[in-house]
Structure 1
Amino acid sequence: MTRRILFVCLGNICRSPMAEGVLRQKAPHLLVDSAGTSDWHAGDPPYVPMQHAALRKGYNITEQVSRPFHPADFMRFDMILVMDGRNQADVEAMRPPGNLTPVKRFAPFAGRDIGDVPDPYYTGEFDAVVELIEAAADGFLATLPQPQ
């Protein structure tokens, strides 16, 4: 049963911490974390414009701290949800031999014809990314068995 979810993006300061915050609030029974494929922002809080977009929608991600993805995360989590194809390739490149932890793109759970969650660090579309993440979180949760 999927109970431990890891979200992964590039720097772990926009998309993955937002997804972590949304899923924590929508499904407090799950263990949720986030990481980045780079260590550029290790130890940093989420990007301030992402924090503001989150707060406008009722999510507080201000206490989160960026960390890099590590191959041991394959053993710690039941499912790894990545924000784009590059994140997926980078995560898969770190997969330990024989590990079967699923790595999936998060955006398709929104039920839209979209493969990636756009990076608002570059696009500036923070509010649109929050809405996409909310829709993907709802779609993802609909695939899981309901808690007893």
Structure 2
Amino acid sequence: MFNNILVVCVGNICRSPTAEFLLKQALPHKTVHSAGLGALVDHDTDATAKQVAEQNGLTCPTHKARQLTKELCRQADVILVMESKHKEGITKLAPEARGKTFLLGQWNNNQEIPDPYKKSEEAFQHVYQLIAENSKLWSQKLK
């Protein structure tokens, strides 16, 4: 049913790859990938995001940030975003994807996950915990 999961943020180097790796770990039989509305194309995961994730036991393979496209939206069965404004960005790009686009924090009072980019390690720790908690809730729904 929901076999192709797309995770979206802005740069595709902090939040969305972290959620991608967590969901891949929890849902090994699903296709999980990520993209950014304003991707830093071909960049690897942000060093602090990767360090924090690995400190929490998550393996972070090499990643190449990629730009969100209409085609990626079309192919996805479900699109998970970090903030409400990301839904708006997807709706502008691919209006037909609106009905399958949800906040990662959907099952947690529609919680939004702030961008930690260029902030402190503590900000990255906080955001990692939010992503991990909400990814776990989604993985339970998508199994």
Q: Same fold (TM over 0.5)?
A: yes
How many residue pairs get matched? 141
- The answer to whether the aligner puts 1:38 opposite 2:34 as a matched pair is no
Q: Give the helix-richer structure, 1 or 2.
A: 2
Q: Which residue number in structure 2 is paired with residue 61 of structure 1?
A: 60
Range 84-93 or range 10-19, more displaced: 84-93
Give the aligned CA root-mean-square deviation in angstroms: 1.7
Q: Which sections of structure 1, spanning at least 5 residues, go unmatched? A: none
Cross-structure match for 1:50: 49
Provide the rounded CA distance (Å) in 2 between the counterparts of 1:139 and 1:64.
24
Structure 1 residues 101 and 74 mapped into 2: Cα distance closer, same or farther (>3 Å)? farther
| Partner Cα distance (1:49, 1:42) in 2 | 18
Name 1:136's counterpart in structure 2: 134
- C-alpha separation in 1, matches of 2:126 and 2:98: 33
Q: Is the 8 A contact 2:11 2:38 kept in 1?
A: yes
Please give the alpha-carbon distance, in whole angstroms, between the structure 1 residues aligned to 2:12 and 2:84: 15
1:115 Cα deviation from its structure 2 partner: 2.8
Aligned to 1:104: 102
**Equivalents in 2 of 1:51, 1:15: separation in Å?**
10
TM-score, normalization: structure 1? 0.87
Matches within 5 A, 1:1-148: 1-39=1-39, 41-95=40-94, 98=96, 102-109=100-107, 111=108, 113=109, 115-124=111-120, 125-144=123-142, 146=143
Q: Displacement, 1:123? A: 4.2
Shift of the 100–15 alpha-carbon distance from structure 1 to 2, 3 Å rule, reads closer
Secondary structure in 1 aligned to 2:117? helix
In the TM superposition, structure 1's runs of 4+ consecutive aligned residues that sit over 3 Å from their partners are 98-101
In structure 2, list runs of 5 or more residues that go unmatched.
none
TM-score, length basis structure 2: 0.90
